[in-house]
A and B are shown apart, each in its own frame.
Chain A
Amino acid sequence: AQSVTQPDIHITVSEGASLELRCNYSYGATPYLFWYVQSPGQGLQLLLKYFSGDTLVQGIKGFEAEFKRSQSSFNLRKPSVHWSDAAEYFCAVGPVNDYKLSFGAGTTVTVRA
C-alpha cells in the first residue's frame, strides 16, 4: 500500500527566509511524486512533480524538490519565501500508470513579516 507522511503539521517562517517542507513516502516501486499547494478557500494547485530522471525538480513559484530514493523522501524547498506563500502544502504519491493518488496530511505554512 502506498502512503505519505508529512512530519511537520505547521511551519512558521519569516518573509525572505528559506523554507523546507518534508515528505516521506512508502511505496513498493518507483512512484509518481507531487507537491500541491492550497491557498485559503481555494482548490489545489500543482507546484511540481517527479516521475523519473533528474532527481532535482523545478516547479512554479520558485519551488524545487529533491527525490532521494535511499531516504524515501521528496522534500520541497524555496530559497526565499514571500507572504503569498502562506498556504497549505500537500505531498502526494501515486503508482505509475494508475489514477489513485495518496495525499499526506498537509503542512500549514505561516509567513511572518
Chain B
Amino acid sequence: DTAVSQTPKYLVTQMGNDKSIKCEQNLGHDTMYWYKQDSKKFLKIMFSYNNKELIINETVPNRFSPKSPDKAHLNLHINSLELGDSAVYFCASSHVDEQFFGPGTRLTVL
C-alpha cells in the first residue's frame, strides 16, 4: 500500500517542452507539498496546498504551476522546460506535523 505515489519515476525531455508530474496520497492528509532536490541534494520547498488551497508559494518561476483537483492529488505542470529544471522532484503530504514523502521523480532536461 503506497502512501504517497508519484508518476513518472523518471522523465527525460528536451528543452522547451511542457511536462507534468502527478502525485497522489492515500493517507487522508489535508496538506500536500512539492519539493525540488538539486544535484547537490539540497531540498527546497516549492509549493504547499491545504485542502486544495495554495498556502505556500516560494520563489519559483511561473513556468511551474501546481494543480490540486482534490485533497488526495497535487500535480506539478512545468512549461518551457530549461536545463536548470533538471532535478529530483518530491511530493509530500502531512496531517499535522510529520511529512510523508513520495519516491521522487527524476527530471532530466536535455
B102 → A minimal CB distance (Å): 5
**Contact, CB under 8 Å: B102 / A46:** no
- For the complex, what is the distance from the CA of A84 to the CA of B23, rounded to whole Å? 28
Give A71-113 interface residues, CB cut-off 8 Å to B: 88, 90, 94, 99-101, 103, 105-106, 108
* B34 part of interface (Cβ distance < 8 Å): no
Interface of A is mostly: strand
B106 → A minimal CB distance (Å): 9
Q: Chain A residue with minimal CB distance to B58?
A: A100
Q: Chain B residue with minimal CB distance to A107?
A: B41
The interface residues of chain B lying within 8 Å CB-to-CB of A38 are 41
Which of A38, A42, A51, A108 has the most B CB atoms < 10 Å from its CB?
A38
Which of B42, B43, B55 has the most A CB atoms < 10 Å from its CB?
B43
Q: Chain A residue with minimal CB distance to B30?
A: A99
Q: Chain A residue with minimal CB distance to B31?
A: A99
- For the complex, what is the distance from the CA of A90 to the CA of B43, rounded to whole Å? 9
Q: Chain B: how many interface residues by the 8 Å CB criterion?
A: 24
**Contact, CB under 8 Å: B42 / A106:** yes
B61 → A minimal CB distance (Å): 19
How many interface residues does chain A have, given as a range? 20 to 34
**Contact, CB under 8 Å: B43 / A103:** yes
Given A90-B43, A100-B48, A101-B45, do A42 and B103 touch, yes or no (CB 8 Å)? yes
The interface residues of chain B lying within 8 Å CB-to-CB of A108 are 41
**Contact, CB under 8 Å: A51 / B103:** no
**Contact, CB under 8 Å: B42 / A99:** no
A58 → B minimal CB distance (Å): 15
Give B49-73 interface residues, CB cut-off 8 Å to A: 50, 55-56
A-B contact pairs, 8 of them (CB 8 A): A43-B90, A43-B102, A43-B104, A49-B97, A99-B50, A99-B55, A99-B94, A103-B44
